[in-house]
Structure 1
């Protein structure tokens, strides 16, 4: 079995960055991808109707499926990694969720990554946890009408500020606390591998509890094969768990994107 036997989506927030964002949908299609995913496509939590239509139109014009979309995560280029745990940002998240649902209805996207956010050291971690739980529950309720899934992602420590979810177990603890069947773990091989987690073992341990997989090597977050992760063992674990969902190419290419796609045949 090869990686491209899966539905492999191109994360256009990291791939094909040599062209403007709206042109990356077509670039992905031209490279052979039939599915794409994206981080939040807009600079603010309240995109205009024109901005929403532009993204939906780019998806349609390229003839690809949008299989994954991040909730608004604050100022990602400036270092923020989500706002779910921040009570003063709740209105932004609520506004952005309406925009996300609009785009989901227009494109058919049904998987949405909600980043927890970085802890404010001046506030109680317990209180911030309670805020995050409420935010994830609200997100789950919002996507229920479209049969959507909210993904919970651990991130690499040391690279993402005071982000408290760093292992698959951290994420699943939150899923259990929220208590909604609309939540699932997002397995990102780079973040877990960077944090010293045996990725294949984590896949086996969380069988049936993860809803999405993102591939990048560690260290470096380059394409599979550019780092030290055991890709044969990760692929074997996915097969053993019966995973048939989308596998996303969410890496930082070490060369122009088209030159890094050989791993799909591996």
Structure 2
């Protein structure tokens, strides 16, 4: 089974530019990150240091988020945030440059929370415009924009696969096909979606899979979700991508389940 390690939620004991090497030491050849900088447009030096950390570790960057605002403060993306389009669009160029330098092809665009000062209609119209810009910006590197349902934030409007797929469909109808659902089994399950049915209906067109167990958002086996069965069924139905480990656990115990599950990191 082919896994990629999310180094923004795991290995947080280490500075960001040491995590790729730690992932390699833990047996992973593939990593992904949320946006690893505090701003939409970091300095060239910051970008170079991040890219070098990936290359020096000898791992493949297989996933990267667009800048999503201040995540610890509750922000969940700029895509639909009226008043921050320029910031998002400037970020697209940086994301594309990192993708070109690392060979990364998958880029998660968090939709953004609903805003009291904007209407849902205005936000959705802006989101469509921004997603078209994002998809166009990464076309030249054969990149795909990912749209993710998210739990834990009431103001975030995409909570089910159907809601995210509606956005995907609108972007495709507007002319860009390099966009797909990010099926995070944890978020979907916590939000009450019918994960087995989502898999049966859409596995072949998943752009990416992420996993964590529930309750608790820990490693597989710490909760009640049949994650390995869901992954296996997704593959039976045509999903060929990697599966991202995006759960919260200390580095000492985070990967013990791989041995007991008869799986391995690569």
Q: Shorter chain as normaliser: what TM range?
A: over 0.9
Q: Match for residue 48 of structure 2?
A: 53
Q: Does 1:262 align with 2:256?
A: yes
Unaligned runs of 5+ in 1: none
Pick from 166, 179, 185: which aligns with 1:173? 166
Q: Which residue of 2 aligns with 1:164?
A: 157
Gaps of 5+ in 2: 262-266
- Shift of residue 232, structure 1, vs aligned partner: 4.2
Task: Give the Å deviation of 1:46.
Answer: 1.1
Matched residue, 2:197 = 201
Q: Is the 8 A contact 2:171 2:177 kept in 1?
A: no
**1:197-239 CA distances to partner (integer Å, 9 max, x unpaired)?**
2323211111322110001011211111111112243133213
Superposed CA deviations along residues 144-167 of structure 1, whole A, max 9, x for unmatched, are 1110000000001xx224110000
Partner of 1:216: 212
1:105-126 per-residue CA deviation (whole Å, 9 max, x = no partner) reads 1111110000000011232111
Work out whether residues 153 and 187 of structure 1, in 8 Å CA contact, stay in contact via their aligned partners in 2.
Answer: yes
1:38 aligned residue (33, 36, 39): 33
The reply to whether residue 241 of structure 1 matches residue 241 of structure 2 is: no
Name the Cα RMSD after superposition. 1.2
Q: Deviation of residue 86 (structure 1)?
A: 1.4
Q: TM-score w.r.t. structure 1 length? A: 0.93
> What TM-score does the superposition give when structure 2 sets the normalisation length?
0.93
How many residues get paired?
Answer: 257
> How far did 1:11 drift?
0.4
What is the distance in 1 between the residues matched to 2:235 and 2:123? 37
Contact 1:201–1:237 at 8 Å: present in 2 too? Answer: no
Give, in whole Å, the separation in 2 of the partners of 1:259 and 1:113: 27
Tell me the distance in 2 between the aligned counterparts of 1:166 and 1:65. Answer: 29
Post-superposition Cα deviations, 1:165-195, rounded to whole Å, max 9, x if no partner, equal 0000001111111112100000001100101
Distance in 2 (CA, whole Å) between partners of 1:50 and 1:231 is: 39
Give the counterpart of 1:28 among 11, 18, 23: 23
In 2, the alpha carbon distance for the partners of 1:165 and 1:53 equals: 33
